[in-house]
Amino acid sequence: MRIYLDTLGCRLNQAEIERLARYFRAAGHEIVAAPEDADLAVLNTCAVTQKAVADSRQRARQLARAGAGALALTGCWVSLEPDAAAQLPRVRWVVPNPAKDALVAQVLGLPLEAFDLEPVAREPLPGLRMRTRAFVKVQDGCDNRCTFCITTVVRGPGRSRSVEEVLDDVRAALRGGAQEIVLTGVHLGSWGHDLTPRRHLRHLVAELLERLDIPRLRLSSLEPWDLDAAFFDLWQDARLARHLHLPLQSGSASTLRRMARKTTPQGFRALVEAARERIPEVAITTDIIVGFPGETEAEFAESLAFVESLGLAGGHVFTYSERPGTAAARMPGQVPHRVRKERNARMRAVLDAAAARYRSRFVGRTLTVLWERATRLDGQGWLVQGLSDNYLRVRARVAQNLWNRLTPVRIVRVAEDGALEGEVVAVHGASAAQPGPSGAVPPVLIKS
């Protein structure tokens, strides 16, 4: 069968859809780059906001219209509204999150034991979505009850994958040509809490770095209360990307209490300072929700001032979105949407200014960049674009295609769009792009 795989939402969804690809390949099926060429399309849906739900429905309809023979829908929206998902055109399988790992077995009518993943490298999905970074799921679910969060509702209790399962996935991704491994989960920092003996994420990270030759390792979002100063000693290993995404959600202590967040502004500031002490030039980014129920103008001003005082490297701002089934959706004091929108713009401005200040510190410095996109410039070499370890977007003009290569780059300026522009300092080893095991090299984008 020809299979088209697609996903919305978070890195965990991306990690899961790439793992499903490995199962289909292990069973001898082909992963195709476009839904119109597929006998079956699999979509991993999202439900984090109302917009994500609407996008999931729309994508499923698009896949059916594009001509995919049949659809299998899975993920968070499907877990929330399976009946609605089953009504959509060409849907043959509706697989809620708890059954997702067995989706391929269910679709193919095979027992899980029939799949021998060992010989199958984890290669990027074909087509323009080909990635140089591999997202690896280490954990699922969450035992917290942040009052705004639907994820904890649709993903179930926290559960960790074993060290051996994670090692196997990382090995397969490295065999598939990945230069960067990104560890991800619903509540990544809780990895190991449910294992016997109880372990901590730092044990897993240390074991991966010790046992595998990973060119670059990155950690996804980490809840602040899971970390302590000792955690940052891991960064003595230069392969660990100097980027910490720590969702604060609000800089107001009273708002954090209504959110049932296990952190305080003081605790968060102490953690940021401990990280900066141990990880030079670390990029610390965050998530902030504005317009949370009951958020007064005074609370918002407190949150804004606190975020500004941290001097972060950037972040996401989410306008509070009621999610049926969460405690916050039933709270009094819902903030008018006009006010939520206005607060989003003010918080956005503070984080954008902080991000610009952080970026500008690297002009004249050398950063290591993983090149993720390569565009051939008519007779003038290539334009390559990628991310530094501290999560800055960088581009450069080079003589050869450096897709999927890690190279040092001297930063010469900040461009108008905020990207850094640089000069590649040196290219070690083979001259051109590194193909995957199947010889796949990314589609070349010609810029005239």
Q: Is 289 in the site for ligand SF4 (CB under 6 A)?
A: no
Asked if residue 68 lies in contact with residue 98, where contact means CB atoms within 8 angstroms, the answer is no
Interatomic CA distance for residues 443 and 448, integer angstroms: 16
Residue with tokens 């509070």: 320
Rounded to a whole number of angstroms, the minimum distance from the CB of residue 259 to ligand SF4 is: 8
Which of 409, 420, 411, 418 has its CA nearest to residue 363? Answer: 411
Compute the least distance from the CB of residue 170 to ligand SF4, in Å: 23
Amino acid occupying residue 101: D
State the nearest-atom distance from the C-beta of 54 to ligand SF4, in Å.
21
Helix (H, G, I), strand (E, B) or coil at 434: coil
Identify which range of 102-110, 141-149, 168-176, 191-199 contacts ligand SF4 by CB under 6 A: 141-149
Please name the amino acid found at residue 448.
S
Q: Which of 7, 74, 97, 152 binds ligand SF4 (CB under 6 A)?
A: 152
- Least Cα distance to 251 among 305, 297, 291, 331 occurs for 305
Q: How many residues bind ligand SF4 (CB under 6 A)?
A: 10
Residues 381-440 that bind ligand SF4 (CB under 6 A): none
> Which is nearest to 256 in space by CA: 213, 211, 286, 218?
286
**Rounded CA gap, 51 and 322, in Å?**
11
Return phi, psi of residue 36, to 5°.
-65, -20
Applying CB under 6 A, among 13, 79, 132, 151 the residue interacting with ligand SF4 is 151
Minimum distance from residue 307 beta carbon to ligand SF4 (Å):
18
Least distance to ligand SF4, CB of residue 364, Å: 38
Tell me: does residue 223 bind ligand SF4 (CB under 6 A).
Answer: yes
Token pair recorded at residue 178: 């990945």
Sign, CA dihedral 8-11-14-19, equals negative
**Binding positions for ligand SF4, 170-189, rule CB under 6 A:** 186-187
Question: If DSSP codes are grouped into helix, strand and coil, which group holds residue 172?
Answer: helix
Counting contacts by CB under 6 A, is residue 149 touching ligand SF4? yes
The span of 50-58, 146-154, 161-169, 409-417 binding ligand SF4 (CB under 6 A) equals 146-154
For the residues of 264-302, what is the DSSP string, one character each? -HHHHHHHHHHHHHHSTT-EEEEEEEES-TT--HHHHHH
Q: Of 25-33, 138-146, 208-216, 386-394, which part binds ligand SF4 (CB under 6 A)? A: 138-146
Instruction: Identify which of residues 145 and 361 has a Cβ nearer to ligand SF4 in the complex.
Output: 145
User: Residue 257 or 361: which CB sits closer to ligand SF4?
Assistant: 257
Does 302 bind ligand SF4 (CB under 6 A)? Our answer is: no
Residue 146 contacts ligand SF4 per CB under 6 A: yes
CA distance 144 to 431: 49
Binds ligand SF4 by CB under 6 A, chosen from 71, 142, 178, 370: 142
Residue 74 binding ligand SF4, by CB under 6 A: no
Nearest-10 crossing angle of helices 163-175, 201-211: 40
Q: How far is the CB of 159 from ligand SF4 (least distance, A)?
A: 13
Which two three-digit tokens encode residue 210? 């010790």
Q: Given the rule CB under 6 A, which of 3-11, 66-74, 148-156, 346-354 is the region that contacts ligand SF4?
A: 148-156
Q: Which residues bind ligand SF4 (CB under 6 A)?
A: 142, 144-146, 149, 151-152, 186-187, 223
